Amino acid sequence: MAGRNIEKMASIDAQLRQLAPAKVSEDDKLIEYDALLLDRFLDILQDLHGEDLRETVQELYELSAEYEGKREPKKLEELGKVLTSLDAGDSIVISKAFSHMLNLANLAEEVQIAYRRRIKKLKKGDFVDESSAATESDIEETFKRLVSDLGKSPEEIFDALKNQTVDLVLTAHPTQSVRRSLLQKHGRIRDCLAQLYAKDITPDDKQELDESLQREIQAAFRTDEIRRTPPTPQDEMRAGMSYFHETIWNGVPKFLRRVDTALKNIGIDERVPYNAPLIQFSSWMGGDRDGNPRVTPEVTRDVCLLARMMAANLYYNQIENLMFELSMWRCTDEFRAKADEIHRNSRKDAAKHYIEFWKTIPPTEPYRVILGDVRDKLYHTRERSRQLLSNGISDIPEEATFTNVEQFLEPLELCYRSLCSCGDRPIADGTLLDFLRQVSTFGLSLVRLDIRQESERHTDVLDAITKHLDGSSYREWSEERRQEWLLSELSGKRPLFGPDLPKTEEIADVLDTFKVISELPSDCFGAYIISMATSPSDVLAVELLQRECHVKTPLRVVPLFEKLADLEAAPAAVSRLFSLDWYKNRINGKQEVMIGYSDSGKDAGRLSAAWELYKAQEELVKVAKKYGVKLTMFHGRGGTVGRGGGPTHLAILSQPPDTVNGSLRVTVQGEVIEQSFGEEHLCFRTLQRFTAATLEHGMNPPVSPKPEWRALLDAMAVVATEEYRCVVFQEPRFVEYFRL
C-alpha cells in the first residue's frame, strides 16, 4: 500500500516538474531525491500519528498536485471538503507535515543543484543553475577571461589580486526566523542524501546512511520551527560565530589554495602571500546599537571577549597537529638559537608551573619547541578571555598571552623562513601556510566588531557637555559653528568633562561604549558607523568623543547615508570633510563611506533608490579623487530585493566605474549568512564570487551610462518616487491592508 502510494505521488511529482523550466525537468535526480525524502517522511508520519493520518496527507497531496496540473474546479472542491472535515488536532499536524514536506523538497533541489554543478565542472562547462558567467564567478575562468579576452598579463592579475580586499560584515537581522538547530538538521539531511547517491557507496554504508537520514528527518519534524523567545545579542553573536567553526575557518585556506592553483594555471608559480588581505571578516552582532536597546556597553564587551576566546580556542585546537607535523631537525642558526632560548627558559619555569608535554621535547626538535611556546600562549590567551568574560578579572598576566597579531605571527614566520631556507618549502607550504593564512585573516579577534550608533545620540552627548561648560546648547548651533567648535577642541588638549557631567541613561550608554572601546584591545574593533549622518559635524563629533574617552587607537569613522535627501547631500558633506586640514591629516589618505539600501528603498522606492545610490557613488568618487583620498564603499545590503539583494556577481559588476577599485565592504545579513556559509560548498562559492567579481570590476570596469540613459532614468525616478510615496505615505488604507 505505502509503496504504491509513494510511486503514485512520485509520478504526479514528475508530471508537475514537466511543466517547470527545462533546466529542472531535464534532470531525473531531483525526482529521485524528492521521492526518497517523501517516502521516508511518510513512514515516520505513520509511525508517529498512525496510518489514517498518513493516508490523509497523501490524499491531500494528490488532490493538490492534480489541481495544480489540470486546474479542474472539481479537484479544488474535493480538496476543500477534505480540509474542512479535519478536526483541530489533525489540522495542526497536517499543516506542520506539509511545511516539513516543502522544506524537504527544497533540500532535494539544493542537493540536485550541487550534483549538477559538480558534473558540469568535471566536464569543464559552465554552472547549470546559473544562466551564464554573468551571474556566477569562477576564479579560474575569470583569470583566463581576463588574459584571453582583455589582454591582461598574468603578472597584472597577480598584482591586482594580492592587493585587493573584500571585507564581509556579518549582521544579525529579524528576518532570521529559522532556528539554528533546524538549519543544522537540514544540513545533515543534505549530506546524507548526497552520500546515498555516491557511486562508490557500499550496501552497509547505504543502510547506515538511510537510518541517519530517517533520524534527521524525524528530528527536524519534531523540532519547533519558530523561535519562541527573542535571541539576545550574545545569542546572535554565537549563532553567527558558529559558521566559522563549521565552514569559514577551514574554508578560507582551502579557497586560497584554489586561488593558488588557478594562478598556476595561467603561468604564475608564486602563491598568494599569506598576509595578502584577500578576504576579511567583520561583524555587527553586539555592536549595532542603532535602535536596539538590548545592545549595551556590557554586551559589546562580552561579544568581543567571546570572539577572542573562540579564536584562541580554534588556533589551540590546531597547533598540536602542526607540532606533530613539523618533526624536522634541520633549521637555520637563527631558528636554533631561538629554540634553545625558549627551551632553557621553559625548564626554569617548569619548577614553578605544571610541566607540559612540549617542555619535555629535546632541543633536537626545534620546531616543536617553538610551536610549543605558541601553544602555551594560545592557552593563556584563551583562558584569560574566558576569565574576563566570566568574572571581569583574570589571574593570568597579560604578558603571558598574545596581545597583538604580530606577536602571534612572528614565531610562525620564523618557522616558515627556516623551512624554506633548509630546502623544505613543500612542507612549509602545507599546513603551516594554511595556519599563517588563518592568522592573517582572522587575527586574535576572529572578526572585527563594528560599532553603529545614530548621529542624534552623539548630538545629545555634546549638547550635555556644552550646557555643562557654559550653558550653551550644541543642538541649537548652526553646522558652521559646530564644525568650528569641534575642530577647536580636537586641536586643543583640554578635557571637556569629568565625573560631574550630568548624564541621562542614554548619554551614559554612549560614553560607556567609548570606554569599552578604550579598554579592549584595538584589534577587536573595525569601524564606527554613524547612521543617519547628514553633515561633517556628525563625523567630527565621534572623533572628539573617541579622544575624550581615551581611545588610544581611534576607530575609523564611517558616515552612513541612507535616505534620498542624505544621499543627494553626501558628496557635498564629504567634500567639506576632506577640505578640513585636521581631518585630512587624521585619515591618512583613506576614507570609508557606507550607503544604505534598505532605508533608501523604503524612502523613495526601489528604482529611485537604486539610481540615487548609483549617482551618489559616482559623485563621492569624484570628490575623493579631487582630494587624493582612496575611497572604500561599504554596501549595507540585505537578502531581499527591497534591501538591495540580488546576484552577488551582477551586483558588484554593476557598481559605477572606480567605486570598487580593489576594496569592497558589504554586509551579509540574517538568513543570507546561512545561504552564503551554511555548507562548505556554499562558503567556497561565496568567497569565489566576491573575490572574482571584485577583481573583474577593477580590471575591466563597466562603462558609464550614456547621457540619454541618465536623462531617462532621472525622469523615471521622479515618477517612480511620486507613485511610490503616493501609495506608501499618502494612502490611508496601506497599513490597514497589511494588517488584514
HSE on the CB side for 108, CA within 13 Å?
23
Place of cell 554543478: 117
Catalytic status, residue 353: no
17's grid cell: 516538474
- For the chain, the distance separating the N- and C-terminal CA atoms, rounded to the nearest angstrom, is 43
Enumerate residues 6+ apart whose C-beta is below 8 A from 721. 564, 604, 605, 608
Q: Which three cell numbers stand for residue 624?
A: 575623493
User: Could you tell me if 550 and 472 are in contact, meaning their C-beta atoms sit under 8 angstroms apart?
Assistant: no
- Residue 132: name the closest of 555, 653, 702 by CA: 653
Three-class secondary structure of residue 295 per DSSP: coil
What is the SS3 assignment for 591? strand
Task: Choose among 412, 416, 440: nearest CA to 427.
Answer: 416
CA atoms of 190 and 202, how far apart (whole Å): 19
One-letter amino acid at 478 equals S
Beta bridge partners of 596: 636
How far apart, in whole angstroms, are the C-alpha atoms of residue 181 and residue 223?
8
Three-class DSSP category at 310 = helix
DSSP string covering 120-170, please?
Answer: HHHTT---SSSSSTTS---HHHHHHHHHHTT---HHHHHHHHHT-EEEEEE
Burial class from Cβ neighbours inside 10 Å (0-12, 13-18, 19+) for residue 576 reads: middle
Is the Cβ–Cβ distance between 128 and 643 less than 8 Å? no
- Residue reference for cell 565625573: 499
Distance CA 109, CA 189 (A): 12
Q: Which entry of 144, 206, 264, 602 is annotated as an active-site residue?
A: 602
| Cell numbers standing for residue 88 | 483541530
**Which entry of 100, 173, 359, 697 is annotated as an active-site residue?**
173
Q: Is 602 a catalytic residue?
A: yes
279 forms beta bridges with 166
Are 447 and 523 in contact by the 8 Å Cβ rule? The answer is no
Locus of grid cell 519558530: 226
Q: What is the DSSP letter of 400?
A: G
Helix residue ranges, H only, 197-267: 203-221, 233-243, 249-265
Q: 547-560 burial string, b = 16+ CB within 10 Å, else e? A: bbbebeebbbbbbb
Q: Do 702 and 660 contact (CB within 8 A), yes or no? A: no
Q: 11 phi and psi, to 5 degrees? A: -65, -45
Cell of 494: 583640554
Under 8 Å between Cβ of 115 and 196 = no
State how far the alpha carbon of 406 is from the alpha carbons of 278, 365, 385, 444, in Å.
18, 24, 19, 10
Catalytic residue positions, numbered: 173, 602
